Each structure stands twice: as C-alpha cells, then as structure tokens.
Amino acid sequence: MERSDAEKSQVGTVGLPRRGTRMRGRVALVSGGGGGSDADFLGTGAATALLFAEQGAVVGVLDRDESRAGRTCELVRERGGRAVPLTADVTDEAAVERAVAHLVAEAGRLDVLVNNTGVTGGAIDAPDLRDWDRVMAVNLRGCAVTSRAALPHLRAAGGAAIVNVSSVAAIRAFGSGAYGASKAGVIALTRDLAYAWGRHGIRVNCIVPGHLHTPIGNHGGAEGRDLRRRASLLATEGSAWDVAWAALFLGGPESAWITAAALPVDAGSTAATALGLLPLM
Ligand SMILES: NC(=O)c1ccc[n+]([C@@H]2O[C@H](COP(=O)([O-])OP(=O)(O)OC[C@H]3O[C@@H](n4cnc5c(N)ncnc54)[C@H](O)[C@@H]3O)[C@@H](O)[C@H]2O)c1
C-alpha cells in the first residue's frame, strides 16, 4: 500500500487498522504505555495499547507518569475503545501488584502482558553505578516484577501471553552501557519464563526492535532519520506501529504455537554485517 508523505514522516509505516475483533473478550496490560501530547507520534507502548483496543481488547495502560497513562486512555476512548489507566513504577512491586489487581477487578481477567517499559542510560564509565542500577532495575527487574504480578491472572485465563520488548542493543554494541546489558537480560528472561510457565499455558516471546522513529528514539533530526532509513535492508525507517503490530501477533491467537522466540523488528539491519551495510548506505 502506497503511503502519503504525511504518513511516512509521522508514523513511518501502517498505523491503525479499521476496527477488528481479533482480541475481543481479552484483556491486555501494556507497561510503559503512556503517550505524550502528539497523538500522531507515539511511543511503542501507546501504539500497542491503541492497536489492542482497536482489535477489541480492554487495555490497562500502566505508566509511572499518571498524565501519560491517562493520555493514552483518552486516545483509546476517543476511538470507542475501553482503557484503564494504571499508575505505577515497574520497580515498585507493591504498586505493580495493586495496579494489576485494579485492572483485573475492573476488566475481570488478564490475558496478555506487554512488558514495554524501557529507559536508556547506565554508562559503565560514569563516576558511580547509580545510573547503571537504575537502568537495570527498570528494564530488567521491572520486567520480572510485572510478570510475577501478572502470573496468577495469566494462569487463570488460560492461553495467555507475555510479550517483552528488548532492543537491538542487546545483540549489537553501540556503547549503550547498562541499556544493552539489561535488554540482553530481557531476552534471557523471555526464554526462562517460557520454560517455567509454558506448562501453565503461558507463552512468552520477545520483540527486538531496531532504531525507531519514536519520541525517545528521535535523535539527530532529519539527518538521523535518513541514517536510520539507510541502515536497514529495506531503506525504510521503523516506527512505534511496527512494534505494535508484532506485539499484536505475539499476544494474539495466531501465534499460539510460538514461545521463547526473539523476533527482530529492524528491517533486517542486524542480519547484515557492518561491511555489508556500508555499500547500501
Ligand atoms: N525507540 C527506539 O528506537 C527503541 C528501539 C529499541 C527498543 N526500544 C524499546 O521500546 C520500548 C519503548 O520505547 P519508546 O521509544 O516507545 O519509549 P517512550 O519513552 O515513548 O515510552 C516509555 C514509557 O515508559 C514510561 N516509564 C519509564 N520508566 C518507567 C517506570 N520505571 N515504570 C513505569 N513506566 C515507566 C515512561 O513514562 C514512558 O511513558 C522501550 O522498552 C525501549 O527500550 C525502543
């Protein structure tokens, strides 16, 4: 499908579909699902929440920032969907447990957890390791905390799924410090939870996104956007919607026989060597 220039510059790829029913009767929790003021330029969590709602799910939008969680819920409601805002820091076990319990009380069940929360930073050569600890705590421990809180409800639902969001920084170095290490941990945790919880009817998979055009990935202005486009095998730039569509697939019934997978969503950039990419750029 040919995209308009406005679509290419704003969302970079196919955005919301027409309303569907693939997730009807299901309840999904998206962590780090908060959205900002620009409804046409969303983070991956907000786009995922919108897409799940558009396909009939009730979505719990968890974020440490109350106004960001509320903003995504407003967007869902404006389009006729149902969303429950949840304020919690994913490093705070008690707060996450309260948030999950609130969603289940409101919506009756929990079928899908998307562990999307992520923060950058954690340079190894900083004067101390405080930032390193913060990044590991949010990105890796937060994923474990939220999965543990969701476990009893996912077990009860039957045929449930967890979708974790890692990063190409987990498998390719670019000086990201604790960020890359934490995201590599997310891939390992994905496999371990798939092993531990498969017999409980819970599939656990992981998305490995490349450098996307999202609010936190929007570095380098027009030049940065052009570089991201050229550093892919498809010569296109990815957006939050590319992750959202992968999350919908991995969280939905069409992927019923897929677990413990790490799916690159990077237009093939990590499949090529640096020397292979150079002539394409
Ligand atoms: N943007 C990219 O290029 C890119 C590439 C690879 C992977 N990712 C991953 O995708 C995910 C989302 O990225 P994004 O660009 O949409 O980010 P974003 O900043 O737009 O969204 C992240 C959300 O998480 C929330 N958050 C931060 N810390 C939190 C905490 N401790 N508890 C609860 N909520 C918290 C923020 O308030 C924000 O709303 C992250 O896991 C990121 O690492 C992004």
b or e along 15-38 (b: 16 or more beta carbons within 10 Å of the residue's beta carbon)? beeeeeebbeebbbbbbbbbbeee
CA separation for the pair 177, 181 (Å, rounded): 7
CA angle 110, 64, 33 (to 5 degrees): 55
**Quick one: pLDDT at residue 14?**
57
Mean pLDDT of 159-185: 97
Looking at residue 19, its pLDDT comes to: 81
Q: How far apart are CA 217 and CA 210, in angstroms?
A: 10
What mean pLDDT is predicted for residues 45-65?
A: 97
195 is catalytic: no
Class of domain 21-280: alpha beta
pLDDT tens digits along 114-166: 999 999 999 999 999 999 999 999 999 999 999 999 999 999 999 999 999 99
- Sketch the domain layout of the chain as residue ranges: 21-280
Q: Whose CA is nearest to atom 42 of ligand 1?
A: 118
Beta carbons within 10 angstroms of residue 112's beta carbon: 29
Averaged pLDDT, 78-84: 95
Using the atom order of ligand 1, give the atom closest to the CA of residue 45: 16
Token digits of residue 131: 């930032």
* pLDDT above 80 for 3: no
Q: Is the pLDDT of residue 13 over 80?
A: no
Q: What percentage of residues in the chain have a pLDDT greater than 90? A: 86
**pLDDT for residue 110 is more than 80:** yes
Annotated catalytic residue within 132, 179, 197, 245? 179
